Amino acid sequence: MTPRVYLINPSHVAFGVAVITPRWLYVLAAATGHEWGDPVIVDETLERIDLNAINRGDVVGIGIHTGNARRGYEIGRAARERGAWVVYGGIHATLFPDEVFEFGAAHSVVKGDGDLIWKKAVRDCVDGKPLPLYDGGRVSGDDFIPARWDLLPESSYMWASVQTVRGCPKHCSFCSVWRTDGQEPRQRTVDKVIGEIVELRRKGFKFIALADDNFYPVTLEDLAMAGRRHDKSRLHQLQDMRQERFELMRALAGLPDDMVFFTQITMEAAEDTAFLDAMRKARIRGALIGVEAVTPEGLKDVYKGFNLAGDELIERLRTFRRHGVHVLGSFIFGLPSDREKTFEATAALAADADITFAQFVLLTPFPGTIDFEKWAAKPENQETKVDGIPVTRHWLIPQEKRPKLFTPHPTMSIEDIRVRTQLAWDQFYSWKNVWKRSNVVKSMKARVAFVLISKLYRQMYANTGIATDSARVQRSAQWARVIAKAVRRLFIAKPMPELEMPDLAPPAEQVA
Ligand code: SF4
């Protein structure tokens, strides 16, 4: 019997419908090739896996980040008991390759990008001789594999996701992206990105997340600094990179006009109004921006000195809105410099700055970050345990017992910070405030969609992440399941199977 290849996205909570397609599942499905038939794709944010379906000799690929590693290990152990080959990949497996053997019954681990190396790992498993480690390194933008969108299940996702660039030149202390994906941005060519988007629009996806580490990899400041160097090679390289961004946005603008895009960028893009205008023309209507903190002390805490604070911050965030880009502002609570008034000041700033969506996250030392290294090196943290597991490996602690904050705060209790964070979510997403913000769209149908997606976002991310009460988490997940189904219908368009690739040739004046 031909073995089957499984690709699994573990999750301890399922919503029946998910907002964004987990792109890596479909990229690795493409990387698997056709030798063993179509891979079986399991996204547990939709439904739990049926472990009984796994047979002896199957190859089970499990992609883990720190948040779902524990659930991933449960699946891996069960799959191995059933006689399958178990291979881990993803950011967490890259950072802790030994842990997947210790806790997840692994046969192998794939470090780094799986695009090119995954197929070899599968073949070796099928041949019965997997290597313990496959190092995929960082593949170049030209080698990123387009996803197998033909394998997407019907009616499960609201937004599709396409990657245009990997890597981020910044070095924020709470983020691991610049260390795992590197600081040198790796851009995909325009034709490959547009090819995937056209395929997705043919299937009826009109909302696309450009799932990039940082969509704005070259700032005006970077260009100015490179321009001051005697050797201009770096300047030319950055100029080419920037030019390619504009070419991509020009191509996006040529796609069907019901399409809407969303991405992640740094706040410095507000200075670059030519870039913002190109985003608006490309219908990149929203961007996740890490505001993190609203005070200079808070920004220093997270090495994000390139952000602004106070009135300048409000002005910068408003600039996005003026140029037609809505902001999903991300804020961190629990920083050493936070005080009781910081919570209210943050909520007030979010309202003043015309932010359309916001998320308020608790400072968590995630592996791969500078914050984690400093925190995990402290003997008192190594000695603190929950059920015998040191908090320096907090992802191994059962979800319901896992602390919500890990670092004692100089002036506030951890519970106080958690409650105030929950209040910030409650306030920002109150019916009154959400309805007020819904005037960013015109028709009643669009306003209803806006309200529902705002409420859904809050249920999925605030109530299932910050709440300590498991009954509340379950109720939220059930509620989210109900509205997610209704909301999805508002995001999906009529399929366009006949849609052609747009002409990607540069305009005549550019050629000349
Ligand atoms: S938080 Fe954003 S800007 Fe900072 S390193 Fe990570 S991806 Fe880059």
Query: Which range scores top for mean pLDDT: 93-107, 169-183, 408-422, 446-460?
Result: 93-107
Chain centroid to CA 372: how far?
19
Q: Measure 313 CA to ligand 1 centroid, in angstroms.
A: 18
> Which one is predicted more confidently, 457 or 221?
221
pLDDT band of residue 477 (cuts 50, 70, 90) is low
Q: Measure 266 CA to ligand 1 centroid, in angstroms.
A: 8
- The atom number, within ligand 1, closest to the CA of 213 reads 7
pLDDT band of residue 472 (cuts 50, 70, 90) is low
314 lines ligand 1 (CB under 6 A): no
| 89 has a pLDDT exceeding 70 | yes
pLDDT, position 199: 96
Which has the minimum average pLDDT: 351-355, 463-467, 476-480?
463-467
169 lines ligand 1 (CB under 6 A): no
Q: Measure 438 CA to ligand 1 centroid, in angstroms.
A: 29
Residue 201 to residue 159: CA distance in whole angstroms: 11
pLDDT band of residue 474 (cuts 50, 70, 90) is low
pLDDT band of residue 512 (cuts 50, 70, 90) is very low
> Which pairs from 340-346 meet CB under 8 Å and 24+ separation?
340/412, 340/416, 340/420, 342/294, 342/295, 342/298, 343/420, 343/421, 343/423, 343/424, 345/294, 345/295, 346/294, 346/424
pLDDT, position 509: 60
| 125 has a pLDDT exceeding 80 | yes
214 lines ligand 1 (CB under 6 A): yes
| 75 has a pLDDT exceeding 50 | yes
166 lines ligand 1 (CB under 6 A): no
Residue 407 to residue 336: CA distance in whole angstroms: 9
Neighbours of 122 (CB within 10 A): 25
| 142 has a pLDDT exceeding 70 | yes
- The atom number, within ligand 1, closest to the CA of 304 reads 4
| 348 has a pLDDT exceeding 70 | yes
Average pLDDT over residues 204-216: 94
Residue 408's SS3 state is: coil
pLDDT, position 440: 85
Q: Which of 65, 165, 175, 301 to mutate to test the pocket of ligand 1 (most atoms within 8 A of CB)?
A: 175
Residue nearest atom 7 of ligand 1, based on CA coordinates = 213
Q: Measure 364 CA to ligand 1 centroid, in angstroms.
A: 15
Residue 61 to residue 41: CA distance in whole angstroms: 10
91 lines ligand 1 (CB under 6 A): no
Whether the Cβ atoms of residue 31 and residue 89 lie closer than 8 Å to each other: no
| 209 has a pLDDT exceeding 60 | yes
pLDDT, position 262: 93
Residue 232 to residue 235: CA distance in whole angstroms: 5
Angle at which helix 118-126 crosses helix 23-32, to 10 degrees, equals: 60
- The atom number, within ligand 1, closest to the CA of 292 reads 1
pLDDT, position 109: 98
Average pLDDT over residues 275-299: 90
Whether the Cβ atoms of residue 251 and residue 266 lie closer than 8 Å to each other: no
pLDDT tens track for 235-273: 999 999 999 999 999 999 999 999 999 999 998 999 999
Would you put residue 176 in left (φ > 0), alpha (ψ -120 to 50) or beta? alpha
213 lines ligand 1 (CB under 6 A): yes
> Which one is predicted more confidently, 472 or 43?
43
Q: Report if pTM > 0.85.
A: yes
Average pLDDT over residues 335-344: 88
Residue nearest atom 6 of ligand 1, based on CA coordinates = 175
Length of the chain counted residue by residue: 512
pLDDT band of residue 462 (cuts 50, 70, 90) is low
What sign does the dihedral 237-238-240-244 (CA atoms) show? positive
pLDDT band of residue 311 (cuts 50, 70, 90) is confident
| 6 has a pLDDT exceeding 90 | yes
350 lines ligand 1 (CB under 6 A): no
Residue nearest atom 4 of ligand 1, based on CA coordinates = 172
pLDDT, position 363: 87
* Tokens representing residue 509 in the block: 């004046």
Q: Measure 176 CA to ligand 1 centroid, in angstroms.
A: 8
pLDDT, position 187: 94
Q: Measure 471 CA to ligand 1 centroid, in angstroms.
A: 34
pLDDT, position 508: 64
Residue 3 to residue 37: CA distance in whole angstroms: 9
> Which one is predicted more confidently, 345 or 510?
345
| 59 has a pLDDT exceeding 80 | yes
pLDDT band of residue 154 (cuts 50, 70, 90) is confident
Residue 110 to residue 93: CA distance in whole angstroms: 7
Which residues in 101-112 are b (16+ Cβ under 10 Å) and which e? Answer: bebbbbbbbbbb
**Amino acid identity of 415?**
E
